[in-house]
Amino acid sequence: MTTRTRVVLLSSIPQLVWLAVVTQGVTGCWTAENGGHWSGSLLLVLATTVLGVFFSIPSSTTFGIPYRPIDAVLLMVCAVSALRIDHWSSGFDTETFAFGAAATIAAVSAAIASRALAVSDSSALRPRFPVDGAQWTVLAGEGRLLNHHWVAPLQRAAVDLVMVDRRGSSHRGILARSDEDYYAFGTPVRSPIDGTVVRCGDGLDDGNLDPRKPAGNHVVLSDGSEEILIAHLKKGSVAVAAGEQVHVGQLLGSVGNSGNSTEPHLHIHAQRDGRAVRIVFSDVRGRMWPGRRVVRR
């Protein structure tokens, strides 16, 4: 089994779980015989919607269909199914209702807790957004829960940027067969700050998942007080050298899929005195919450 096949199968797990849960919820609404069963099933669908929005479940399903339009259609089906119920209070199903309510409360609580536990350094770094054109979705970001970067203290405010189309899909077609199928692959990456190249690396193959060299091809910049790591660059694209002075907007390389990366995207994180620093881009209004869409012209 190739590395890409393993990655596709692993990345499909949360999508399949999401599909199974919402299918159960919608089926429950459609077959409900009383208000308790219907309300509980509807709450289950709402809970999965909250998790998808706040924890950035992948922007599209394995088949390239966006989650949010699917959620909207399914919620409409749930609403219409209420017309099939003749006796709302007769034999009220308290067990199904309680389960749906608990799932919704848990999802909302998780979303609130993730924000409360986020990196909250008030002196956030304000670099320029490092890529141009199209739409970018923020995967990872400041939240603690369901943030795979949290285990690495210096990356707790890391931002992953994925280019998406109008569907919210990061690649062309139904399934991506190569790195070139991803919209982000090969997009120029420009320096977000004026500073010095502390170190950089190139020569690692794209599409070869390598946890031993997590940053892959990369560039580390310093402005004197903070260091910024820009990772997973395309093999052969790094355009600077260690010790070189760079300016905002200068070409650093291209978006790739090297290192510990499951698909072409750009990883950026900053540190100051051995602590993670929250990133708020100077030319993008607002903070980088997971799931946020950034439109560039």
The verdict on 55 and 92 lying in the same domain is yes
Query: 145 near 114, Cβ under 8 Å?
Result: yes
Residue 64: the pLDDT is: 57
The verdict on 23 and 86 lying in the same domain is yes
The verdict on 82 and 160 lying in the same domain is no
Q: Which of 20, 41, 21, 19 is nearest to 29 (CA)?
A: 41
The verdict on 147 and 103 lying in the same domain is no
Residue 7: the pLDDT is: 52
Last residue of a domain, one of 47, 82, 116: 116
**Residue 128 domain-assigned?**
no
pTM: 0.74
The verdict on 43 and 188 lying in the same domain is no
Half-sphere exposure of 169 (CA within 13 A, CB side): 16
The verdict on 85 and 167 lying in the same domain is no
CATH of the domain at 220: 2.70.70.10
Query: 34 near 93, Cβ under 8 Å?
Result: yes
How far is it, in rounded angstroms, from Cα 197 to Cα 219?
Answer: 7
Residue 38 burial class via C-beta count within 10 angstroms: exposed 0-12, middle 13-18, buried 19 and up: buried
**Residue 103 domain-assigned?**
yes
Give Cβ neighbours of residue 52 (< 8 Å, ≥ 6 apart): 18, 67, 68, 71
The verdict on 69 and 172 lying in the same domain is no
Supply 278's token pair. 């929250």
**Residue 82 domain-assigned?**
yes
The verdict on 144 and 281 lying in the same domain is yes
Other CB atoms within 10 Å distance of the CB of residue 260: 15
Last residue of a domain, one of 57, 87, 116: 116
**Residue 76 domain-assigned?**
yes
**Residue 181 domain-assigned?**
yes
The verdict on 76 and 173 lying in the same domain is no
Query: 250 near 191, Cβ under 8 Å?
Result: yes
Residue 195: the pLDDT is: 96
Q: What share of the chain is helix, strand, coil (3-state, %, to 5)?
A: 30, 20, 45
**Residue 126 domain-assigned?**
no
Query: 71 near 23, Cβ under 8 Å?
Result: no
How far is it, in rounded angstroms, from Cα 116 to Cα 128?
Answer: 26
The verdict on 108 and 215 lying in the same domain is no
The verdict on 171 and 260 lying in the same domain is yes
What's the number of domains the chain is made of?
Answer: 2
Per-residue pLDDT tens digits of the chain, which is 297 residues long: 455 555 555 556 667 777 788 889 999 999 998 999 999 999 999 898 887 766 655 444 445 566 667 778 888 999 999 998 888 887 788 899 999 999 999 989 987 877 676 666 556 788 999 998 788 988 766 666 556 777 788 888 889 999 988 777 888 877 778 899 999 999 999 999 999 999 999 999 998 888 889 999 999 999 988 999 999 999 999 999 999 999 999 999 999 999 988 889 999 999 998 888 888 898 888 777 777 788 876
* DSSP codes of every residue in 132-144: -SSEEEEEE-S-S
**Residue 123 domain-assigned?**
no
Distances (CA, A) of 226 to 1, 109, 195, 198: 41, 33, 10, 11
How far is it, in rounded angstroms, from Cα 53 to Cα 219?
Answer: 31
**Residue 121 domain-assigned?**
no
The verdict on 158 and 83 lying in the same domain is no
Note down the domain range covering 93: 3-116
Query: 151 near 188, Cβ under 8 Å?
Result: no
Q: Which residue has the tokens 């402005």?
A: 223
Residue 62: the pLDDT is: 45
Last residue of a domain, one of 70, 85, 116: 116
